[in-house]
Amino acid sequence: MKPLPYPEAPVGILSFDFDGTLHDPEADPAVGAVFFEKIMKLRELGWIWGINTGRSQLQMKQGFMEVRFPFLPDFLVARERELYTPSEFGNWYPVEDWNRQVERDHKRFFRKVKKPLQRIREYVVSETQAEWVEQEGDPAGVVASTEAEMAKICERIDAEALHSPLLGYLRNTIYLRFSHKDYHKGSALAEVTKRTGITAAEVLVAGDGHNDLDMLQCCYANWIICPSNAHVDVQQAVKDQGGYIAKERASLGVLEALEHFFPE
Ligand SMILES: [Mg+2]
């Protein structure tokens, strides 16, 4: 699996979330072949495209294999913040200076928010059915029992964040991980945009979940889209910004929006 030859002068960026936005576990194939055909056409016009996901780089590599991508994207944002680019042979390389900065800032972040995190942990453990998770690379996270419970936990975190301005989190359905407020899919995409030498006026974003809200914003993209299966909060955000809510699900919905904005 390899990327397509990189355009001499990219004209724009397409940034897609993976799970739910392109990948539909209920569909067969999980990502429509017609979607890749459209990407191929846009790629010929000089657009570059990337996956902007909460998955780790390894989990995403599995995703590419599972779905049998006919060609790799031109960039990958993993764990909502780390950047990777593929070699012409399809090996993924970290964008080292950026990823080092991300790691350094997160180490500092977790030292700084120790106390507020402790208070949130106490709340989660004693007052909810949710589970507090600590794992390699992710020092603090929560798995709630329901989405409603997660919404309540987010309110509690938001209250705590009023006094800890760095305290951020990335939420996807019942999963949440704590993160430096400045690092999310939006800021990662802004870094890709800057490095590509273009502006947000030439960027399109597509997402379906809460962790996509950070990139589904006018400051990062000119075209904002979501498939029909996007969370209601996401649909509302897309609507509020004059974006496009597709009638179709997942990759077919994204394709519908691409055809809407770029018919040829
Ligand atoms: Mg998603």
- Give distance in angstroms: CA of 21 to centre of ligand 1: 5
Question: Which of 161, 180, 199 is the last residue before a domain boundary?
Answer: 180
**CA-based diameter of the chain, in Å?**
56
- Give distance in angstroms: CA of 221 to centre of ligand 1: 18
Question: Which of 135, 158, 180 is the last residue before a domain boundary?
Answer: 180
- For the cut 80, the answer to whether the pLDDT of residue 57 exceeds it is yes
DSSP H/E element including 254: helix 250-261
- For the cut 90, the answer to whether the pLDDT of residue 233 exceeds it is yes
- For the cut 80, the answer to whether the pLDDT of residue 6 exceeds it is yes
Q: Among all chains, which residue has been given the structure tokens 């910004």?
A: 241
Rounded Cα distance, 222 and 220, in Å: 7
Cβ < 5 A residues, ion ligand 1: 17, 19-20, 208-209
Distance of CA 127 to the CA centre of its chain: 30
* pLDDT above 90 as % of the chain: 97
Strand partners of residue 16: 51, 206
Question: Which of 110, 145, 180 is the last residue before a domain boundary?
Answer: 180
Residues 168 and 189 in one domain: no
- Give distance in angstroms: CA of 164 to centre of ligand 1: 28
Tens digit of pLDDT for each residue in 121-161?
Answer: 999 999 999 999 998 878 899 999 999 999 999 999 999 99
Across 16-27, average pLDDT: 97
Residues 61 and 126 in one domain: no
Token output for 33:
């072949």
Tens digit of pLDDT for each residue in 166-202?
Answer: 999 999 889 999 999 999 999 999 999 999 999 999 9
pLDDT score recorded for residue 137: 79
**3-class secondary structure, 245:** strand
**141 lies in which domain range?**
99-180
- Count of other CB atoms within 10 angstroms of residue 18: 24
- Arithmetic mean of pLDDT over the chain: 96
- For the cut 80, the answer to whether the pLDDT of residue 264 exceeds it is no
